[in-house]
Copies of this chain bind each other. A is one copy, B any other.
Amino acid sequence: MAHTHTAFEGKNALKLESGQTLGPITQCYTTFGSLNATKSNAILVCHALTGDADADIWWKTLIGPGKAVDTNRYFIVCANVIGGCKGSTGPSSINPETDQPYGSDFPVITIGDMVNAQYNLMEHLNIPYWLSVIGGSMGGMQALEWAASYPDKVRSCIPLAATAQVSPTAIAFDAIGRSAISSDPNFNKGHFYGKAIPQKGLATARMIAHITYLSEQSIDSKFGRKLQDKSEYGYHFDTDFQIESYLKYQGDKFVDRFDANTYLYLTKAISYFDMPRKYGSLEKAFSATQAKFLVIAITTDWLYTPAQSKEFVKSLIRLDKEVTYAEMDSMNGHDAFLLEQPDLTDLVQLFLEKLNDN
């Protein structure tokens, strides 16, 4: 697919919600398709915790020529978030003050900070507004934040498997994951670059999180109590069950492609995401937005639940905003937003087409 990888070097430091500043920062982004003459076909795709700018790869079910988010029709932008480890400024980037990687000297960032950085990118690209901002999970949080903080720059907003206020249960799982990373003897207070990395801690964090991305039904159906490569219990502490083997594989594979500090910073940003807290209430958050909403929740998502999606949907209805809420019936849990779901892709396609017709 025709796409362009680019690094956008900002000119000014980014003012963060914490009061600190960061940068000037780099944002690594990918674009697909072309901006039309009226600049009315730009769509921002926001990635989830472990994603990157290559939205055509991790969201291939949705994005591509002739697909719901049609690269022949729309100009699609996806940037690696700040704090990330896929090209944008993050804890593994060089801190200009020390000429060493930031490590734990990187400031704590928020979903709002990610969105503010993306706003600078939008200006840089001379995009007057987004036809749509789309994202799942942490990407959906960014989409909601866009609608709230740039109310006249977002024509539509499609949060999938998202929440406007991360639950204490989700905070708990992420906190344990962070604790596993910072307990790893290789963690070295975040200054492990060029040395042994805290891979066991990161693998543990990934395994914990991975359970929350599945559902009890999908675990039962995919793995059940099936043993891995054996018919009898091993009576040892190696892997006995397929679910153990699967999680171990997920953990081990993850450490090769992800930075442990990025994991800390992005999960912290997620834990902090609380629109009622930031804006006073959900109604205040969305009062000025000009966006139409397509909100999609997954029936078996117990991380960012349908009930949580309905919370902000109710606020949007109270505000007389145009909102469509769809609950996708899937047994695949939170991760279903990334999987082949004809109902889901049809909905997104129709929603975008209707916008375009206006």
Q: Which A residues are within 8 Å of any B CB, using their own CB?
A: 18-20, 104, 107-108, 165-169, 171-173, 175-176, 178-180, 182-185, 200-201, 203-204, 207-208, 211, 216, 219-220, 223-225, 233, 235-237, 240-241, 243-244, 247-248, 251, 264, 268, 271-272, 274, 277, 302
Contact = CB atoms under 8 A, between A and B. Distances in A.
B211 A241 contact: no
A182 B264 contact: no
B167 A244 contact: no
Contact of A220 (B20, B167, B178, B251): B167
A183 B204 contact: yes
Nearest to A20: B235
A172 B211 contact: yes
B175 A107 contact: no
A248 to B, nearest CB: 7
Contacts of A244: 171-172, 175
Contacts of A223: 168
Contact of A216 (B108, B169, B219, B248): B169
A218 to B, nearest CB: 10
A207 B243 contact: no
B208 A237 contact: no
Contacts of A233: 18, 272
Contacts of A176: 204, 207-208, 211, 247
10 contacts: A19-B235, A107-B235, A108-B235, A108-B236, A167-B220, A169-B211, A169-B220, A171-B244, A204-B204, A216-B302
A241 B107 contact: no
A182 to B, nearest CB: 7
A192 B213 CA distance: 35
A235 to B, nearest CB: 4
Contacts of A264: 237
A235 B268 CA distance: 9
A225 B274 contact: yes
Contacts of A274: 225
Contact of A200 (B178, B183, B211, B251): B183
B104 A243 contact: no
